[in-house]
Amino acid sequence: MPVLAYDATDRLIAVPQIYIETHGCQMNEADSQEVARRALAAGFTLAERPEDAAVLILNTCTVRDNAEQRAYGRIGHWKAVKNADPSVKVVVTGCLAEQDRDRMRRIAPHVDGIFGTRELTALGDALAGWRADYPDDDLTVDREIETLMGGAGVGIPGPYDALRGFVNVQRGCSYYCTFCIVPHVRGRFDHRPMGEILADVRAKTAGGAREITLVGQTVNAYREPATGADFADLLEAVCALDEVERVTFVSSHPKDMTDKLGRVCAGLPKMNPRFHLALQSGSNPMLRRMNRKYTIEEFLDRVGGFKAHNPAWAITTDLIVAFPGESDADFQRTLDVCATGLFAQAYMFVYSPRRGTPAAVWHAKDPIPRDVAQERFKRLVAVQDAAVRAYHERKVGTTVRALLHGVSRKDATKLSAKTIDNVTVNVPLVERTPDPAHPWLDVRVESASVWGVRGTCLGRAAAFVGAAEPVAPPLVDLVTLGA
């Protein structure tokens, strides 16, 4: 279904929509934002539902097998949309498109375009070319009334989506961890010129972004191609932009930790106090087998050096359970690290083989039994969840400032936000209509759990450093009072 808009002569027209669904990491989020920008420039609007769109774009991930299966399932679902309207274009991009281009053409012939991770420009050009296939519909009076009464979508995924801008600083990775498919589908390191990155940051802030996330597979390995400036230099340049409110970054590699990065982060007030640093395993034999290029002792030493400069920062991580060859002793070493409470949050996974990687070959020859893998995973989750809960409980009784995400997905009577150290905050609904001009909430934290914290919204601010204006009682309370 097209969305309604007025043209330059104030004539009401129906404009074709594009639907973008993103799976996977923040690099894919950044790529999807770029695709959306190109789509808008080509004359499309953004759809909330695939059924309303003229072009469907799926940005895929291959980091684990379930991500791949989920993507193929979604591609299959969209075949029904295309069968209902053959003019609809189905497009797949991202890592799965890079890895499975030929296979996808065979098993999903209804897909109109397959664009790899380095082909976003070509995807944008294709969108511009397809736009002519969907001319603006000049509405008659009867059709106009019919469309308006039907409640056409506004073509905006969410009122707060623009508050967070993802900017790629590099593509690819050159480290070839034995479990990882990324170097095979995204290529080796390709660092973007700093000038291009800063231009993207300015564009994001001009579009409403209050928080900029610098994204790369190994972001702290960044080197400016012309000058050799490093990632710490890039952070200083981004934070020097007056229009930037907050800055964060993902994901970093322990190999590229430097004392300079710790010192620079400590001197930049705009930095969000959260450092995501993937450990993967606490066992040196497993780290060697993973080709991680550091020992657990080096990891802890580098984290300690960073925390010496930034004691209040949260350290978060990734962990893999049941990697091929992992013994009970290897797993126990990972458990021991987590038991120290070092990590404020951890993304934990049972090992998933990826085609074309050395670890997949080892797994095929000698897999760890599923029941053993699941038992280890449950034990790790229990230990790490205790550390996460303790971190969250330290916020109870304090007032935190958090950037809105929007209405909670699990409870429509709540607003969801994120603190600058990446903790989810839920508060009772305080608005009947979205107010992205005041996206910062001051929240008195009243309770904590593993998923985040709950509290009461005391005020809203237009800027992170600005004073908050008091808010009215929660809407649910107003309803109760009027009953």
Q: What is the pLDDT of residues 76-125, one digit of tens each?
A: 889 888 888 888 999 999 988 888 888 899 989 999 999 988 888 889 88
Residue 396 confidence (pLDDT) above 90: yes
- C-alpha span between 315 and 303 (Å, rounded): 8
Contact 174, 189 (CB under 8 A): yes
User: What is the edge-to-edge ordering of all strands in the sheet holding 3-6?
Assistant: 3-6, 12-15, 137-138
Residue 276, phi then psi, degrees to nearest 5? -95, 120
Alpha-carbon distances of 74 from 22, 24, 58, rounded to whole Å: 11, 14, 8
The DSSP bridge pattern shows strands 414-419 and 424-428 to be antiparallel
CA atoms within 13 A on the CB side of 317: 23
- Please state, in angstroms and rounded to a whole number, the distance separating the CA atoms of residues 105 and 207: 36
Q: How many residues in the chain?
A: 483
* CB within 8 Å of 84: residues ≥ 6 apart: none
Q: Name the least confident of 21-30, 98-107, 384-393, 439-448.
A: 21-30
pLDDT of residue 160: 85
pLDDT at 43: 83
Model confidence at 443, pLDDT cuts 50, 70, 90, reads very high
In the numeric block, the tokens 């890039």 are attached to 234
Report pLDDT for 421.
97
Asked which of 10-19, 334-343, 366-375 is least confident by mean pLDDT, the reply is 10-19
Q: For 60-89, what is the mean pLDDT?
A: 86
d(CA 249, CA 233): 14
Give 83-104 as a DSSP string.
Answer: HH-TT-EEEEEEHHHHHSHHHH
* 152: its two tokens: 């056409």
The number of beta carbons lying within 10 Å of the beta carbon of residue 285 is 14
The whole-number average pLDDT for the span 169-197 is 91
3-state secondary structure of 323: coil
Is pLDDT above 60 for 226?
A: yes
What pLDDT shows up at residue 475?
52
SS3 22: strand
pLDDT tier, 70 (very low <50, low <70, confident <90, very high otherwise):
confident
**Of 408 and 218, more confident:** 218
Q: In the structure, what pLDDT confidence band is assigned to residue 141 with cuts at 50, 70 and 90?
A: very low
**Tell me, what's the pLDDT at 261?**
98
More confident residue, 180 or 269: 269
pLDDT at res. 125: 87
Q: At what angle do helices 296-309 and 328-339 cross, to 10 degrees?
A: 10
Q: How confident is the model at residue 284 (pLDDT cuts 50, 70, 90)?
A: very high
More confident residue, 228 or 37: 228
Least confident of 164-168, 241-245, 279-283: 164-168
CB 308 within 8 A of CB 275: no
Q: At CA 107, angle to CA 104 and CA 108, rounded to 5?
A: 70
- Enumerate the H helices of 251-410 as residue ranges: 259-266, 284-290, 296-309, 328-339, 358-365, 370-393
pLDDT at 149 over 50: no
Q: Which two tokens stand for residue 142?
A: 């009867």
- Please write the tens of the pLDDT for every residue from 424-438: 999 998 777 778 899
Cα–Cα distance measured from residue 193 to residue 237, given in angstroms and rounded to the nearest whole number: 12
Measured CA distances, 451 to 379, 421, 427 (Å): 18, 14, 14
| Domains and their CATH numbers in the chain | 3-150 (3.40.50.12160), 161-391 (3.80.30.20), 399-482 (2.40.50)
Return the bridge partners of 58, or none.
21, 92
Closest CA to 134 of 295, 10, 16: 16
- How many C-beta atoms surround the C-beta of residue 84 within 10 A? 9
Q: Which two tokens stand for residue 435?
A: 């107010």
User: CA-CA distance, 354 to 179, in Å (whole number)?
Assistant: 7
